Structure 1
Amino acid sequence: MGKFTFKLAIRQLINLSLGLSLVSLFSACSQVRNTTAPEILNSRYTDEQPVLSGNGRYVAFVSNRDGRRKLLMYDLQQRQFVDLPGLNKAEAIAETPSLSRNGRYLVYISSEQGRPELELYDRSTRSAQVLSNGYRGWVRNPSISPDGRYISFESSSRGQWDIEVLDRGTNIELDISDGSRR
């Protein structure tokens, strides 16, 4: 009887050790953020298509962190990610970002159900706007001017890839270095 209880105790000890090891492993892999440490730009995930704001403070890029492709923006001065509420939709894939001078405006391609749309995100209003609604043809590779007024992109509306420039007009708030309106 003594051997039987000794073997049982050993098994229970091994099971307990194994269980604690698995708990430690899973908790180490969880996505809990440590808010006291600076957030790092590079990770073990695929980060691609980086673009730098004109003032050199922000970098925007496409990442597959959290298991899906989305746009992220990182503040190089503060060494932390910028909150972009309303930018990344769960059912859409965002690609090819471009930033204005101070990072207020972010233009990108968003594909929902396989159809690419040209979109603009305004960090001041925290809203995204589709710029190519009802547009014939496909769009790709957008680029925004430093002040945020003009957006160039490639379009296939004539059956070939052409370059188009979209003027957002004179009634928009420009992203200029001193903050004044021109």
Structure 2
Amino acid sequence: MSLLLAIAALLGSCTSAPRLLSFPFDAAGRSLNSPFMEATPRMAGRFLVFVSDRRGSQDIYLFDAVERRLVDLPGLNALDLLATSPAVSADGRTIVFVGSRQGQSDLYLYNRDTTQLQNLTDNLPAQVSDPTISADGSTIAFAASINGQWDILVYNRFGQPLNIPVEPR
């Protein structure tokens, strides 16, 4: 499925009638639509985050749908880190994603204001997947394989687990 169709499907589920977004095609990969592989698009507010192999490695890109341009992400994409499953806060300032190095996956948080990349699960002895982030960027939920089973964990933006009370039924 092309990125454009995926976006249309995502937005179509949010309204009563689907709508097709038309963004220009750029053969050099400087726009949203390109001849390169785009994967796992997620939209929050006016921002769309996705993974693409435009520069010969699996990097994260952020697209501003209002300004219709890619947003610079200095310090985010590293050659030794395989990035997957990004999610973005509604204001576009915080990106969370799974990064893999040497077979170990961790959850990373990127702050656009400070251009800092932080490993949130460095001390978690588990594989992680499928992160999502709250609209304000303060809370991250993700799946973690601990002791042979997958659980949902919730962390704050500083990498500290949050204890979410569960009321018995």
Matched, 1:61 2:47: no
Q: Identify the match of residue 70 of structure 1 among 44, 54, 59.
A: 59
The answer to whether the aligner puts 1:165 opposite 2:118 as a matched pair is no
How many residues in Structure 1 have an aligned counterpart in Structure 2? 132
CA distance in 2, matches of 1:165, 1:45: 33
- 1:168 positional shift: 3.4
Deviation at 1:148, TM superposition (A): 1.1
Corresponding position of 1:48: 39
Question: Aligned equivalents of 1:94 and 1:81: distance in 2?
Answer: 18
Structure 1 stretches of at least 4 aligned residues deviating more than 6 Å after TM superposition: none
Q: Secondary structure at the match of 1:66?
A: coil
* Residue equivalent to 1:118: 107
Counterpart mapping for 1:19-58 below 5 A = 39-53=30-44, 55=45, 57-58=46-47
Greater helix content = 1
**8 Å CA contact 2:86, 2:97 repeated in 1:** yes
CA positional deviation for 1:116: 0.7
Which consecutive residues of structure 2, in runs of 5 or more, have no partner in the other structure?
Answer: 1-26, 159-169
> Partner residue of 1:20?
none
Distance 1:141 1:132 in 2: 14
Question: 2:31 & 2:157 partners in 1: Cα distance?
Answer: 35
Counterpart for residue 94 of structure 2: 105
Residue pairs, 1:88-103, within 5 angstroms: 88-103=77-92
Counterpart CA distance in 2 for 1:92 and 1:139 is 14
Q: TM-score, normalised by structure 1?
A: 0.68
Deviations 1:112-134 (A, max 9, x none): 11211100000111111000012
Bigger Rg, structure 1 or 2: 1
Kindly report the root-mean-square deviation, in angstroms, between the aligned alpha carbons of the 2 structures.
1.7
Amino acid at match of 2:92: G
| Whole-Å separation in 2 of the counterparts to 1:147 and 1:73 | 17
Percent of aligned positions that are identical: 39
**Structure 2 CA distance, aligned partners of 1:168 and 1:85?**
19
Task: Give, in angstroms, the shift of residue 99 of structure 1.
Answer: 0.8
C-alpha separation between the residues in 1 aligned to 2:147 and 2:139?
Answer: 21
Q: What's the counterpart of residue 138 of structure 2?
A: 149
Richer in strand (by share): 2
Distance 2:116 2:126 in 1: 25
TM-score (norm: length of structure 2)? 0.74
